[in-house]
Each structure stands twice: as C-alpha cells, then as structure tokens.
Amino acid sequence: MIDVRLLDQSFNPGQLAGLFSQAHPGLGGVCTFVGEVRGEGGVEALELSHYAPLTLPGMKALAQRAAVRFDLMGILIVHRTGVMLPGEPIVCVSAAASHRRAAIDATDFVMDHLKSDSWFWKREKKGAGWTWIEPRGDDYAAKERW
C-alpha cells in the first residue's frame, strides 16, 4: 500500500503508523521515522509552504521509487504544511517489508530525498520575525549516498 498525504492540520504519527502497520499482515519489519519541530534557538514557530501542482506528485513519485527499489510491502509518507509549533510532528515516514534491512534503508532513503528533493520552503519565527531557512550542503551530501 502506498499512502502519501500532505496535511495542513496537526496529526498523530503513532496512530497513522499503527494503522499503516496493521494494514500489512505478514510483514517482517516496519521502520518509522517521525520528525518534529525543534524549539531550540528560540524558534517559536515553523511554517512550511509548498506548491500544490508539484509537491504531492513529487512525494508520490518518491514513494513509488522507494517501494520498487526496496521491494516494500508498503510505504507511508505524511508531511505537514502550514504553521507548526515546537513539538508538533512535521513528517512521518513508515516502510513495511519482509526484512528489516529493506524497511530501515527505505525509511532512510525517503527521508534523505524528502529533505533535498521535495518542494517545501521553510521559514521560522523567532522573536524578531520570520526567517527563511536556506538549503544545507549536507542534505545534498546525504542524498548522494544513494
């Protein structure tokens, strides 16, 4: 099952990952990554904007690619947009496979590509106002591993 969602409201990663896992009886392993907004450095809020005609199709293509490459039973990719507060989940990726290596590697692969290839623009709010977050060199390096 390939399940890709772009949500503009807060979500419960455990619930989504639990349902996803239950939808794959016979799996050997499931690996789930959840990313949350860190409050470090005085960040009060994070806003993610996206471009609808590209963002969701891009996430679906990435899910499809991971499913084939790692021979997955299923892959879940959920990503937030809009304004989020520290502690809120931003992203949840869950991969179900017959064997653990495929499940872990697929989750790792999807996270590396989501960070550098996905059409999201982030800005964060500190006391003074909003600041755009620039691309980081090590995200490109992470993607080059694959």
Q: In the complex, which residues of this chain contact other proteins (CB under 8 A)?
A: 49, 51, 53-54, 57, 115-123, 132-136, 138-139
How near is the Cβ of 15 to other proteins at its closest, in Å?
26
- The binder of 47, among a copy of itself, other proteins, none, by C-beta within 5 to 8 A per type, is none
Nearer to other proteins, 80 or 115 (CB): 115
Cα dihedral 101, 104, 106, 109 sign: negative
Classified as helix, coil or strand, 95 is: strand
Is residue 21 near a copy of itself by the rule CB under 8 A?
Answer: yes
Q: What is the distance between the alpha carbons of residues 86 and 46, in angstroms, rounded to a whole number?
A: 8
Is residue 40 near a copy of itself by the rule CB under 8 A?
Answer: yes
Angle at 80 (CA atoms; ends 76, 82), nearest 5 degrees? 165
Q: Which two tokens stand for residue 62?
A: 């990435």
Is residue 36 near a copy of itself by the rule CB under 8 A?
Answer: yes
Is residue 116 near a copy of itself by the rule CB under 8 A?
Answer: no
The amino acid at residue 117 is D
